[in-house]
Amino acid sequence: MRKKEKERLAPYQRPTFSGRIFDIINIVLMIVFSFCMLYPFWNQLVLSFNEGTDALNGGLYFWPRVWTLSNYTYMFENSHLGTGAIISVARVVVGTATTIFCSGLLAYVTTVHGFSGRRFMRVIYLITMYFSGGMIPTYLLMVNLGLLNTFTVYWLPGLFSAYYMMLIASYIYSLPESLMESARIHGAGEMRIYFQIILPLCVPVLAAIGIMAAVGHWNSWFDVMIYNPAGDWDTLQVYLRKILLEADQPAKLQNAQQLQEAMRKLTTSSVRAATTMIVTLPIICVYPFFQKYFISGMTIGAVKG
Partner 1 sequence: MKKNTLHRIISLCLAAALTISLASCSQTSGNSSSTDDTSSGGTSSTGETTEGDLVEPSPTTGTVNEYGWDPPVETLTISVYAGNSTDQQTFEDDAKGGKATYDKWLLDNMNVQFDWHFYSNDITEQLNMMLASNNYPEVITNMPDDMANTFAAQGRAVDLTGYVEKYGDNITRRMGNYLNMLRDDEGKLYKLATLWGETPNVAGYDFGIRYDYWLELGEDEIYKTPEEYYETLKKVLANHPTNENGDKVYAVTATNASTDQGMTMVNSMLGAYGFVNGYKVNDDGTFTHWINTPEGLEIAKLLNKMWREGMIDPDYLNTTYEDYISKLSTGRVIGNLGTWWYAWTGGHETWSVAEGDDYDINKRFMNVSVAAPGLSMEDTTLLTSNFIGSTRCIITDKCENPADVMRWINWENSELGNMISGWGAPSETNNWNIDENGNWIVSDDIMNVSQKNIYYHDTKERNGGTIYTLATAGGWLKDDELSDFDKIDPRVDRVSIYDYWPVDPETGEFSDEGVNICWKNYTAPAFDTTLYSVTFDPNEPISQTNQTIKDSLPTYWANIMTASSEEACEQAFNDAAAALNTMGLADLEAFYQQSYEANSAKMAG
Partner 2 sequence: MSKQTASVQQSSGFPRGKFLRTLKRERSLWAISAIALVWVAIFAYGPMYGLLYSFFDYRPGLNLWDCQFVGLKYFREFFLLPDFGKILRNTLVISGLNLTLGFIAPIVFALFLNEIHNTKFKRTVQTLSYMPYFVSWVVVASIMNTLLSSNGTINELLMAIGLIDQPISYLNEPSLFWWIQIIASIWKNVGWSAIIYISAISGVDGELYQAGAVDGLGRFGMAWHITIPGILPTIVLLFILGVGNLLNTGYEYQLLVGTPMTRDVYEVIDTYVYRYGIQMGRYPFATAVGLLKSVIGFALVLISNFAARKVTGMSIL
Q: How far is CA 222 from CA 143, 161, 170, 226, 281, in A?
A: 16, 18, 30, 6, 21
x/- letters, 189..228, toward partner 1 (CB under 8 A): x-x------------------------------x--xx--
Shorter beta-carbon distance to partner 1: residue 183 or 225: 225
- Judged by CB under 8 A, the chain residues 166 through 185 that form the site for partner 2 are 166-167, 170-171, 173-174, 177
Task: Say if CB 76 and CB 137 are below 8 A apart.
Answer: no
Mark the segment that binds partner 1 (CB under 8 A) among 10-18, 28-36, 53-61, 160-168. Answer: 53-61
Q: How far is CA 59 from CA 43, 50, 89, in A?
A: 11, 12, 36
Report how far residue 27's alpha carbon sits from residue 258's, in angstroms, rounded to the nearest whole number: 54
- Judged by CB under 8 A, the chain residues 181 through 220 that form the site for partner 2 are 189-191, 204-205, 207-208, 211-212, 215, 219
Q: How far is CA 80 from CA 75, 95, 155, 241, in A?
A: 9, 22, 22, 14
> Contact between 44 and partner 2 (CB under 8 A)?
yes
Query: Which of 90, 94, 102, 148 forms a contact with partner 2 (CB under 8 A)?
Result: 102
Query: In one letter, which amino acid is 10?
Result: A
Report how far residue 275's alpha carbon sits from residue 281's, in angstroms, rounded to the nearest whole number: 10
**What per-residue string of b and e applies to 153-168 under the rule 16 or more CB within 10 Å gives b?**
bbbebbebbbebbbbb
> Contact between 100 and partner 2 (CB under 8 A)?
no
Nearest approach, Cβ of residue 267 and partner 2 (Å): 13
Query: Which of 261, 284, 289, 299 forms a contact with partner 1 (CB under 8 A)?
Result: 261
Contacts of 31 (CB under 8 A, 6+ apart): none
> Contact between 134 and partner 1 (CB under 8 A)?
no
> Contact between 143 and partner 2 (CB under 8 A)?
no
> Contact between 43 and partner 2 (CB under 8 A)?
yes
Query: Which of 97, 215, 247, 283 forms a contact with partner 1 (CB under 8 A)?
Result: 247
Mark the segment that binds partner 2 (CB under 8 A) among 68-76, 77-85, 227-235, 241-249. Answer: 241-249
> Contact between 124 and partner 2 (CB under 8 A)?
yes
Closest to 157 measured CA to CA, from 226, 107, 242, 203 = 226
Residue 33 binds which one of partner 1, partner 2, none, with CB within 5 to 8 A depending on kind? partner 2
Report how far residue 267's alpha carbon sits from residue 193's, in angstroms, rounded to the nearest whole number: 55
Strand intervals (E) in 108-216: none
Binding site for partner 1 (CB under 8 A): 53, 56-59, 77-80, 135-136, 139-141, 143-145, 189, 191, 222, 225-226, 229, 231, 238, 241-242, 245-247, 249-258, 260-266, 269
